[in-house]
Chain A
Amino acid sequence: MSIKGELEKIVGKDNVSDAIADLNLYSQDLSLLPPGMANAVVWPANTEEVAQVVAYCNENTIPVVPVSSRVHTQGSTIPKQGGVVIDLKRMNNILEIDLSNRLVRFQAGVTWAQLTAALKEKGMRAIMPLLPRPNRSVLTDTLEREVTTNMVYDYGEPTQSLEIVWANGTIFRSGSASVNGFPESISRGANPSGPGLDFYRFMQGAQGTMGIVTWMSMKIESIPKIDKIFLAPVKDIDYAQEFLYRILPRRIGQECVLLNNVDLAGIMANKAEEFDELCAKLPPWTLALTISGVQRRPEEKIAYEEKFLKEVLHNEFNALPLSDKLPGFPGLGRKLLPMLRAPWPEDVKYWKNSLRGGCQDIFFIARPNKVSEYIEIMDMIAAKNGYPISDIGKYIQPIEHNRACQIEFSLFYSPDDEQEKAMVAKINREAAVALMNAGGFFSRPYGEIAPIVYDRAANYTMALRRVKNVFDPNNIMNPGNVCF
């Protein structure tokens, strides 16, 4: 029997295809990586079907490529060795929203748009990255450790329990959902750790190479009662960093982002002409900081945070004009604030793809006091390769009270221009090496960066392969990614 025939027995005729038209949809994505074709695609309805598909593939050493989002940017879901794409989009149920324990449990196919709307109805929100694509899987983005804009919660890491399908086709629950009979249990799945090993850690940053996560429980927060946004034009990025070193450990604020003129213009512009104007007029950097009053006495919280900010600015950072408006850009703050709490609108082209069509992001974790150094390196390599420095998008995300930050450089290009694509790919590789040499840490390397990082991390890579060998001895789980 053909692969398709076997799969039909599991998921039903309507939920499997080997038609070229269908397979083409999965053969490439928005990254610069070359296309790859699967042999079949399935759309399972539930975890048991996923498990049966995986079990069959494992028996026959057929690769599986798990897909949860509707759009992909890192090349992880491009089938690199053929096989079966397992698209979990039909598994898009929100299984429970527990308001007492402030958690939500949801399937892999649930998108940001879907989840934020459902949570909003209950007065809750998820802590999210900057403007996530509305049709990305929340589960995937969270597992892939997308950095969030809100770092005031010391406990960070929203991930709790997971349901996992292993390469051998067995179904497993990690964390405190591992109790027998979950969810009909006293345990609510709030602890990510265990049992016996921290399985959730192996699934993070794994791009589906360790197993398929079919649902996740995750922490959620209340929607604040009052929000205020503060903005500051920034010329001297080091000065702004010293300010953040000063205030963020005092647990001020909710969201805090630093965006250069290119990125901010891209986000705020409604059309192309507006982008050019904004790009030209915006300050080199804009610091945006929101403060919020939460459930009780919200005005008092706003008041003491504002008071503290004012004192620090006055006494120590009077060259930083942080205020509730960005001079020259009336209404920008009012517009930006709700954007920071929501995914990108579904009916608008994603801002990174609006500029030139294509976008290559280079992102890594760094010490905030080295930001200038990294910017210099990036600019130099871009210039060396003929990429205009003024076109580079730059975004600095403080993390964990600014004890670190994520730096993201965005290189925009036309996907129809082969030369440009080659140049951007080259810059990507060269910049990654140079930034790494200067101490930048690529904690989640994708595409062409991955072999560079895993090569450098030789012993780590070796150990990782040994762990992989335990969980997926036939290497069927999304081969060709990470270091496998």
Chain B
Amino acid sequence: MSINKQAYSAIETIVGGKYISEDPAIMEGYRSGPGGYENGTGYERVMTTIPHAVVMPKNTEEVQKIIKICNRYNVPYVPYSTGFYGPRTHCHVENELIIDLKRYKDFEYDDKHFYFDVGSGAILAPLQQEALNKGAYTVIGGGGAQCSAICNLIGDGWSPLSHRIGLPHRRILGTELVLPDGELVKTGSLATSDDPFWGEGPGPDLRGILRGFTGLRGCMGIVTKMAIKTLPFQPEPLVPTGIAPNTALALPVKRVKWLNFRVPTKEAQIKAMFDIGQAEIAAALTKVPLFWRAIAKAEDKEEFWDIWLKETEESIANFFIVRVLLVGYTSEDDMIYQENVLNDIMTELGGVPMRTKPSDESWIKNADSAGMWLMTGSYVSVDYIIESLTQATVHGNTYAELKKKYTPPLMPDFGDPGWFQSFELGHQGYSEFLIYWDHREDTSGVDQFYVDTSKMNIKHRYYTSLIGPHQPLFLTGPNYGPNYHEWLLKLKNEFDPKWVSHPPVPLAHDDFVNKAPWMHAIRDWEFPEELPMPKW
């Protein structure tokens, strides 16, 4: 069995023989796991497979033509820019086509008007350097500097820098979206001209179908081109130093500086976040999980565990760091002002400054997400949610409590409650909970924990990032909105009646729970006998 032959040769005519293949060795290179984000899980084993063909178009026009052919010949497809997001960005059904967008690396930068216009193949690290060259910056999402900028902006797009810069949704400007049936929609100012500089409208904003917090994983069409806002930074260069693995950006400390403070209690840590937000200072404001410091120090997993296993529940529970990035946006005097205000707050809270390197290993240019796999070999974030500081500062503890039930197979972390930080100068708070395991062990507990967190969030009335395609839609749907899933499915059926675009997303996790026997005990919500989607 393979991709329909007529479809294959029609697509080949569009891109040329060099950019399409169905060779088994090439297909194997597009396998999702077993390593990678959310890989080494039952979801990956049960739900993913290798493609039967891969095509690499170079622009929106080619993508559109390919999609129309797929619709005509009922060829399921999945859009793919770097493949980093794990199983959810890989084929879920047989005889599927991967549309690999890496060739679309177009790049134009209007630095006077603070945006770059890029294709799906452009990743964040080089774009950040282009921005820094012009005294601007953008967010390197927690997913990492290796992520496609477009994918990151329709699925993630936040980091500690969001304390100042805010929700990524607003950085999306004029965008080209190829709908699942091949129609092309241009949003924002691109709707009425060739200039992508403005993102809203016209009228009701169709950027609403791009995200829905953490994205639709490519089941609602393909974003091929996007203008992305940059934000003003400061003019001094950040100089790369060191030799791998010990590289970092040397910071111009009169304009850019990280500061770490140790505060006496969790309450002080939380109050620091609120107070710093109220004071309207800082470019980043975060606490990080203690084991990340161990990762940063360790060169390999043996060294990590040597450092980490010296900790205990008590040492974790009594360790409170507030990490602050100051940027003198206006001038050096701006930096001095912010530092004075910060010191005032820390004095009030009993915070003690700790020695901090005048460099940035992570966040400004290199979100070192790859380091997350160092400790155990497998990793996923079970939440990366923006809400208020009120939620963010307690959320992690609820996770940590639930996690005890599932450790092992999850890594022992002595109850570390994940990380939280301030976003939008304290108007929002962010919490993320990360789990790690060795996928050579029995991973059923990982799959169960994953869905159990969704139930936990529903029970405790937390907002969560893992909605939409990330968790069973029939579990989360009735509990958020309520019934947001009905609208999502209606819109999906409107734009993709054949479900050719990345089937069976957004019902993929429902499908997984049905297919995996070890998930049946946990499946205690109402779900239809037949999932409402065409069968592939």
B242-250, B384-392, B527-535: which lies at the interface: B384-392
Find out whether the CB atom of A307 lies under 8 angstroms from the CB atom of B329.
Answer: no
A188 contacts which of B135, B385, B390 (Cβ < 8 Å)?
B390
Interface residues of B, count at CB 8 A: 99
Flag whether A239 is at the interface (Cβ < 8 A): no
Flag whether B166 is at the interface (Cβ < 8 A): yes
- Nearest-neighbour CB distance to chain B for A469, whole angstroms, equals 7
Interface residues of A, count at CB 8 A: 96
Q: Which of A101, A222, A401 has the most CB of B within 10 A?
A: A101
B192 contacts which of A250, A307, A442, A482 (Cβ < 8 Å)?
A442
For the complex, give the distance between the alpha carbons of A153 and B231 in Å.
11
Closest to A456 in B: B192
Find out whether the CB atom of B183 lies under 8 angstroms from the CB atom of A462.
Answer: yes
Find out whether the CB atom of A404 lies under 8 angstroms from the CB atom of B487.
Answer: no
- Nearest-neighbour CB distance to chain B for A51, whole angstroms, equals 13
A187 contacts which of B192, B391, B487 (Cβ < 8 Å)?
B391
Closest to A200 in B: B208
For B113, list chain A residues within 8 Å (CB): 367, 403-404
For the complex, give the distance between the alpha carbons of A457 and B206 in Å.
12
A172-180, A227-235, A274-282: which lies at the interface: A172-180
Flag whether A352 is at the interface (Cβ < 8 A): no
Q: Which of A155, A196, A401, A457 has the most CB of B within 10 A?
A: A196
A10-18, A31-39, A109-117, A202-210: which lies at the interface: A202-210
- Against A, the Cβ 8 Å flags (1 = close, 0 = not) of B277-304 are 1111000000000000000000000000
For the complex, give the distance between the alpha carbons of A194 and B45 in Å.
29
For the complex, give the distance between the alpha carbons of A312 and B22 in Å.
61
- Against B, the Cβ 8 Å flags (1 = close, 0 = not) of A297-315 are 1001101110110000000
Could you tell me which residues of chain A, from 294 to 337, have a CB within 8 Å of some CB in chain B?
A: 294-297, 300-301, 303-305, 307-308
Flag whether B73 is at the interface (Cβ < 8 A): no
For B317, list chain A residues within 8 Å (CB): none
Flag whether A463 is at the interface (Cβ < 8 A): yes
For the complex, give the distance between the alpha carbons of A365 and B165 in Å.
22
Find out whether the CB atom of A196 lies under 8 angstroms from the CB atom of B487.
Answer: yes
- Nearest-neighbour CB distance to chain A for B392, whole angstroms, equals 9
Q: Which of A172, A187, A301, A442 has the most CB of B within 10 A?
A: A187
Find out whether the CB atom of A445 lies under 8 angstroms from the CB atom of B203.
Answer: yes
For A180, list chain B residues within 8 Å (CB): 458, 461, 479-480, 482
- Against B, the Cβ 8 Å flags (1 = close, 0 = not) of A144-170 are 010000000111110000000000001
Classify the interface of chain B: helix, strand, loop or mixed: mixed
Find out whether the CB atom of B461 lies under 8 angstroms from the CB atom of A195.
Answer: no
A404 contacts which of B197, B427, B481 (Cβ < 8 Å)?
B197
Find out whether the CB atom of B115 lies under 8 angstroms from the CB atom of A403.
Answer: yes
B341 contacts which of A173, A251, A296, A466 (Cβ < 8 Å)?
A296
For the complex, give the distance between the alpha carbons of A245 and B112 in Å.
8
Flag whether B488 is at the interface (Cβ < 8 A): yes
Flag whether B442 is at the interface (Cβ < 8 A): no
B463 contacts which of A187, A203, A219, A369 (Cβ < 8 Å)?
A187
- Against B, the Cβ 8 Å flags (1 = close, 0 = not) of A454-484 are 1011011011101101110000000000110
Find out whether the CB atom of B461 lies under 8 angstroms from the CB atom of A297.
Answer: no
Flag whether B21 is at the interface (Cβ < 8 A): no
- Against B, the Cβ 8 Å flags (1 = close, 0 = not) of A391-429 are 000000000110110000000000000000000000000
7 A-B contacts, Cβ less than 8 Å apart?
A174-B481, A190-B428, A191-B387, A194-B480, A250-B331, A304-B330, A467-B494
In addition to A202-B205, A459-B191, 14 A-B residue pairs with Cβ atoms within 8 Å of each other are: A155-B167, A186-B395, A187-B461, A191-B167, A196-B212, A196-B213, A196-B467, A204-B205, A307-B331, A403-B197, A453-B192, A457-B186, A463-B206, A483-B203
